[in-house]
Amino acid sequence: MTKYAQQASILIAVDCIIFGFDGDKLKLLLIQRGIEPEMHKWSLMGGFVQHNESLTDAADHILKKLTGLEGVYMEQLQAFGEVYRDPGDRIISIAYFALIDIHKYETQLSHEYHAEWFELDQVPQLIFDHNDMVEMARKKLRYKAALHPILFELLPEKFTIPQLQSLYEGIYDSVFDKRNFSRKILSTGLLIKQKDKDKLNSKKGAFYYMLDIGKYNENFHAFLNLIPNPDHLQFV
């Protein structure tokens, strides 16, 4: 095998950014780091890529080892390669991100590394450049949520408008007027009102709705009018 003897070795790591929705709040999964430097501080799920595995395989095995989660579809976000980003060595990290329904995976979650869900407005200071990774992943998530039906994969088959509003508010870090949001969402004509109500979260109860899949596939851009400043929505 040819060796690049004159070149310095650089370590490659993978960091996993896992967003989750519990039906009420959008959250971020964190662990307490198990090695130095920055041992026991809050961190994304990260580890080194081994010689015999791809980046995707590394992301899968790191996530399972540190949290117990498996079968999670993750997308590659970006490489982070500032020279002094990790005081331990010269390390380039490839960040992956995912958006999951917390309830579908809660029985898998391991607490060996103190894996814990944090609401996005209560995320602590993370090690290295992990806060930057999270912020970039949120921007990508906003972009994808506007153009793809990923948000509805986090909701149960039947959901209420308050649940949908909470999800949008978490994604876009905005507070929507309840009446205006309800008016806009119903004006799309893409939801089917059900006869039963959710009476656990309010005395009056909120009607359940279902997504009209056929109409949605034909006209999902109708949901763009729910997004704050859609003309400025971009991801670089």
Summarised one tens digit per residue, pLDDT across range 123-134 is 999 999 999 999
pLDDT of 231 reads 47
Based on its alpha-carbon atoms, the radius of gyration of the chain, rounded to whole angstroms, reads 20
CATH 3.90.79.10 fits 11-147, yes or no: yes
Residues of the chain with CATH 3.90.79.10: 11-147
In single-letter form, the type of residue at position 55 comes to L
pLDDT, tens digit, 9 for 90 and up, residues 182-228? 998 888 888 999 999 888 766 678 899 998 888 877 776 666 666 76
pLDDT, tens digit, 9 for 90 and up, residues 114-160? 899 999 989 999 999 999 999 999 999 888 877 766 777 788 888 99
Query: Measuring CA to CA, which residue among 115, 148, 116 is closest to residue 233?
Result: 148
Query: What residue spans of the chain are helical by DSSP H?
Result: 55-67, 102-105, 130-147, 161-172, 178-187, 213-219
Strand partners, 14: 47, 94
Q: Cis peptide leading into 37, omega within 30 of 0?
A: yes
pTM, two decimals, is 0.84
Residues of the chain with CATH 1.10.10.10: 151-232
CATH of domain 151-232: 1.10.10.10
Q: State residue 210 phi and psi, 5-degree precision.
A: -130, 150
